Chain A
Amino acid sequence: MSEPRRKTMPREGAGGRAAHDVGGLDFGPIDRTEHDLALWEKRTDAMLVLLRDNKRRVLSVDAHRRTIEDYGQQEYDRTTYYEKWIRAIRNLLVEQEVLTREEIEARMAEVRARHEKAGRKARKGAIPW
């Protein structure tokens, strides 16, 4: 996926145009390549729907959007749609004290180890909190 280019860059800071608020900016031609969703992306979508339902109300779609919007332009531009989503779910689960940061990081290490053992390498890269 190519880096998006922003030709107009009104980054006025607090009170100005937020990073996600892109109506009227110029990002060049529209890439119409179709992508199937990976299973992890479908599950991310599913988890958001379930976490916001009446049974749980752990988070709202508004809180989810707010969390994504708070990442800042750099992170916003270089992450994919569902990368933004799962990161925001993670942050909100910690914010709402459903899970702790430590146990998420510990489980991620376990998951990586499990995959490596099964022959699938884990790509390096931390997800900023």
Chain B
Amino acid sequence: MVRQPSRAAATAFAPGERVRVAARPVLGHCRTPWYLRGKTGVVAAVQGTFRNPELLAYHKPGLPAQVLYKVRFEQADLWGHYAGPASDHLEADIYEHWLERPN
């Protein structure tokens, strides 16, 4: 199953923008990890558009395709007792429908 990323799609967020991962409850397949829910990071890159895995998981076409973002987080923001320096980061690929503007 080929999901060709399309670079022509309009994107809600641009590199450098702060974004927050939604903290919605989930039933079913989801590729937004628990430890990132509700966390705020910065868009590091726009990765293209891909069909939605949450729908593909149930044999649906997975449309509309979602923009995928590489989001960079500060480790100190993710974990209460992060044991490394403030300069450590974590990046994850998050679909647009899981991102919102922080207040």
Contacts and interface: CB of A to CB of B under 8 A. Distances in A.
Interface string A45-84: 0000000111001011111011001000000000000000
A62 B57 contact: yes
Given A21-B33, A23-B33, A57-B1, A14 B58 contact: no
Q: Which range contains the number of B residues in contact with the other chain?
A: 20 to 34
Nearest to B62: A62
Q: Which range contains the number of A residues in contact with the other chain?
A: 20 to 34
Contacts of A62: 29, 53-54, 56-57, 62
Contacts of A17: 34
- Secondary structure at the A interface, as helix, strand, loop or mixed, is loop
A96 interface: yes
Interface of B: 1-2, 25-30, 33-36, 53-54, 56-59, 62, 78-79
12 contacts: A14-B25, A16-B34, A18-B30, A21-B34, A24-B34, A24-B78, A59-B59, A60-B1, A60-B59, A63-B56, A63-B59, A65-B29
Given A14-B27, A18-B30, 14 more contacts: A15-B26, A16-B34, A18-B26, A21-B33, A23-B36, A24-B35, A24-B78, A24-B79, A52-B1, A53-B1, A54-B2, A59-B59, A60-B59, A63-B56
